[in-house]
Amino acid sequence: MVYSLALFATPVAAVEIDGRIDPDEWRDARHVTGFRKVQPLSLEPGSLPTEAWVMATPEGLAIAFRNTQPQSVTWTRQKVQRDFSAQVDRVNLMVDFDGDGRTGYNFTVASTGGVADAVITNESQFNDDWDGHWQHAVTEDGEGWSVEMLIPWYIAPMRSGENGMRTIGIQLDRVIGSTGERMAWPGASFERPRYLSEFEPVEVVQYSQALLAVTPYVSGLYDNISGDSDFEGGLDLFWKPNGQFQLTAAVNPDFGQVESDDLVINFSATETFISDKRPFFTENQGIFEFTTPSDDSQLLYTRRIGGPADDRRGAGDIDAAVKLNGSLGATKYGVFLAEEAGEVGRTFGALRLVRDFESQNLGAMLTRVERPFLDREATVLGVDHNWRPTPRWNVRTRVFGSQVEQHGEDVRDMGATVWADYEMDGGWRQQWIAMHFGNDLEINDAGFLARNSTNYLHWEVRRRFDALAEGSRYASKDWRGRISTNHNNRGEKLNDQFRLSRQGNLRNGSYEYGQINVNSPGISDLLLRGHGIVKLPASFNAFYEYERPRKGDWAHDVELELFGGGLAGNSKLGSSVWYGTTYFISDAFSINAGVVVIHRPDWLIWQGHDHGDLVGAFDGRESKLKAGLDWTISDRQELRVKLQAIGIDARAHGAWRFDAAGNAVASMDAVDDFSVRNLGFQIRYRYELAPLSYLYVVYGRGGLDSLDHAEGVGDALFDSFDLRDDEQLLVKLSYRFEI
C-alpha cells in the first residue's frame, strides 16, 4: 500500500527545526505510532512509547520524533562526534528517494545532538564515509526527548515523479542506548536478506530544489624532516539545477590526510582494502555501487585515483575530477571522470546505468583506465540484476568481463556471481552463493578484487531466536552453519570449509560473536606469486568477540582467536588476543587504549622473485598498540588523538621449496630472522565554521623500519616510538558557499 502525505499540492507551512514539536507546525504531517522491535527481531511493540511525524515541505522532507523515556530507564549522556558508532540513545531516518530499493540514505541524531549519516546500497550495506548537509535539533524534558530533522531535496539525485507526486521509501527507528533495543516502523531489519526494498512506500508532493555550492580550500603543509613547505588551493563544486541532474566537480583537489588510515603490515599476496573518506569520492557515490559476494570487491575502487603512481615515485597528483548523477525517466545514470597530472598520470572513467522495474532492477557499468607509463589500457564491463520474485526471495546476479591491452597484447576474461537468500518461517533462512572468476579476469586497474581464478560455492542455513525467556541474559541469538568449496580454474582445490557461528545480542546492550571454521587440505596458488603451488594440510580456527558498551565510566571489547595454518596445520596452533577499553572522564572527553598480541608458530613468507619458490617458515610474534583520546570541546569543535604502533619479531625455523605437485622440500637456503617496526601518530583539531566548512589543524608523525635480525617483539614495539620518517603539520581551511 502506498500512503499519501499530501492529497493536494497546496503550500505547506515551513517547519522551524528547533527540536520543539509544535502541533500547529505538524498538523498536516502523517503521524506514526506503530514502532516494533527489530533488535531483537521479535516485531513486538517497542518497550518505550515512540511517536514520529513525516511531512513533505518545499524546503525538504521533515521528520519529528517524540521519544518517551522515564528516568528509571538509563539515559546515555555521552557526547559523540560525527559518524559515531557508540551505543547511545538515538533515532534514525532511512529514506530511499526513488523508492526502488537501490540506494538509501541514513540520517542519525543522538539524544545529545551528535549526528551521523551514511549511504545504504546492496540492500543492507552502510557506508558512513559520506557527509550530507541537513538540519537537526534536539530538546529534552523530564519525560523524554524530541528530535526534528529537515532533509533538503537537493541532498541526493532523484528521478522525476508523476502528476506532481513521487513515491519514496521510508523507515524510522529508535535505539535505546542502555539495552541496544531497536524499534522501527515499518518492521524491516538489516539482519534480513531484504532491507532497503522493505521500506514503507510513501507518496509525497514532488518538490524540487536547486543548489549551487562552491567549496574553495587553502592548505599549508610543513615537513619537519625536509624543512620544506607546500601551499595548495583548489575548489569543489556541487550543482543541482533540478531533481534529475547533479554535477560534482573538483579542481586541483587537496586529498591530504586529515583522516589517518589504520596501520597495516601485509606480507600476503592479496591487497589490503581501505575505504575512501575523501569528500569528492563519497558525495553521492551510491549510483556506482557494483559489488560481488567476494570480500570488498567492486568495479570502481576510488582509492586507486591519486593512489601510488605507476612509476612508484609517490602518489598520483589529481588535476581534476567530475561526476554527473541524474535520471532520464525511469533510468538513472552516473558519469565519472578523473585525470592525474604529468607523464605518468592516469585517466579514469566510469559510466553507470540503472533501470528499475516493479520487482527487479537492471544495471550496467563500464570502467576504463588509461595508464601511459605502463602502455596499458584496461576496460571492464559489468551487468547486474537484482530480483525480488516474492517477499521471501532475494536474488542478485552479476556478470562482468575485462579487456586489458598492454604492449600490443590483448587479454580478455570474465566473471559471474549469483547469490540467493530465502527467508522461511520460524526464524529460518537459507543462502546460496556461486562465484566464477576467470584466470585472466583483471578489474584492479579501477576496481578491487582480492583474487581471480576462483570457482566458489556455498550453502548456509540460519536460525534466529528472538523470543527468549525474560530471565535469559540474551535478547536474541542467531546461529549459522555453512559448507563451502573453492577451486581455482585449473581444477585444483583451494579448500573445503565448514563454518559454525553464533551472534548474540545481550539485554544489557552488549554484543557477542563466536565462529569455528574447519578447513580441508588444499593448495595455495598465491603464496609463491606464480612460481608454483603449495600443498597445505587441514586446519581450523576459532574466533570469539565480546563488546560491552559504556556502563558507568568504562566500555570494553575483547577478541580471542586460536588457529592452525602453514605447513604444520593443526600441530602448531597460533593465537591472537585483543583487549581494548575506553574510559570516560566526562560525557565529552574519553581516552582509549588497546593491545593485540599475535603468535604465528608456522608463518610462511615468500622470499621474493629473486628466490623463485623459496619460502621461509618463521615463529612470528606481533604486538599492536592502539591508544587515543576524543574530546568534543563544543558543538563545533573536536580534538582527536590517535596512536598506533606495531612491532613484529620473526625467527626463522626452516626454509622450503616446492616440487611441481606442491609438496614441500626442505631447503638449505639461508633465511634470516627479521623485525619490523611501524608507527602512526596523529593529533587532529577540527572546527566547524559552517555546515560542511571546516578548519583543520593536523600534526602527524610516523615511520616504518625493518631489520634483518630479530630483536624481540617487545623491543620492536617500543622502539617504534623512535621512528620519525615523516613529521608534518597541516593546516587546511575550506568554506562552502551556497547559492
Q: Are residues 159 and 286 in the same domain?
A: no
In a domain, 655, yes or no: no
pLDDT at 262: 84
Q: Are residues 112 and 10 in the same domain?
A: yes
> Sign of the C-alpha dihedral, residues 196, 197, 202, 207?
positive
The number of distinct structural domains making up the chain is 2
CA separation for the pair 386, 396 (Å, rounded): 5
pLDDT at 519: 98
Q: Are residues 70 and 158 in the same domain?
A: yes
Per residue, what are the HEC states of 223-239? ECCCCCEEEEEEEEEEE
- List, in sequence order, the alpha helices (H) in 267-397: 279-282
Task: Provide mean pLDDT across the span 346-355.
Answer: 96
Q: Are residues 99 and 197 in the same domain?
A: yes
Q: What is the pLDDT of residues 192-225, one digit of tens each?
A: 889 999 999 999 999 989 999 999 999 999 999 9
In a domain, 639, yes or no: no
Cell of 544: 570469539
Contacts of 456 (CB under 8 A, 6+ apart): 294, 433, 434, 435, 436, 484, 485, 486, 487
Cell of 96: 530511499
Residue that has been written with the C-alpha cell 586460536 in this structure: 562
Is the pLDDT score of 6 beyond 50? no
Task: Provide mean pLDDT across the span 52-79.
Answer: 95
Is the pLDDT score of 402 beyond 60? yes
Per the structure, the complete domain to which residue 426 belongs is given by 275-452
pLDDT at 584: 97
- pLDDT, mean over the chain: 93
In the chain, the amino acid numbered 553 is D
In a domain, 661, yes or no: no
Last residue of one domain, picked from the residues 171, 187, 207: 207
33 CB neighbour count, 10 Å cutoff: 12
Is the pLDDT score of 559 beyond 70? yes
Q: Are residues 193 and 282 in the same domain?
A: no
Q: Are residues 319 and 195 in the same domain?
A: no
Is residue 545 very low, low, confident or very high in pLDDT (cuts 50, 70, 90)?
A: very high
Q: Are residues 418 and 284 in the same domain?
A: yes
Q: Are residues 144 and 290 in the same domain?
A: no
pLDDT at 673: 96
Helix/strand/coil for 117: strand
In a domain, 76, yes or no: yes
pLDDT at 7: 35
Cell of 156: 541526493
Last residue of one domain, picked from the residues 207, 228, 245: 207
In a domain, 671, yes or no: no
Q: Are residues 199 and 286 in the same domain?
A: no
In a domain, 292, yes or no: yes
pLDDT at 9: 41
Q: Are residues 176 and 302 in the same domain?
A: no
pLDDT at 314: 87
Q: Are residues 194 and 322 in the same domain?
A: no
Question: Mean pLDDT lowest for which of 266-275, 555-564, 622-631?
Answer: 266-275
Q: What is the pLDDT of residues 593-612, one digit of tens each?
A: 999 999 999 999 999 999 99
Last residue of one domain, picked from the residues 432, 452, 472: 452
Is the pLDDT score of 425 beyond 60? yes
In a domain, 497, yes or no: no
Q: Are residues 75 and 165 in the same domain?
A: yes
Q: What is the pLDDT of residues 305-336, one digit of tens each?
A: 999 999 999 888 899 999 999 888 889 999 99
Do 410 and 376 meet the contact criterion of CB atoms below 8 Å apart? no
Do 170 and 54 meet the contact criterion of CB atoms below 8 Å apart? yes
In a domain, 268, yes or no: no
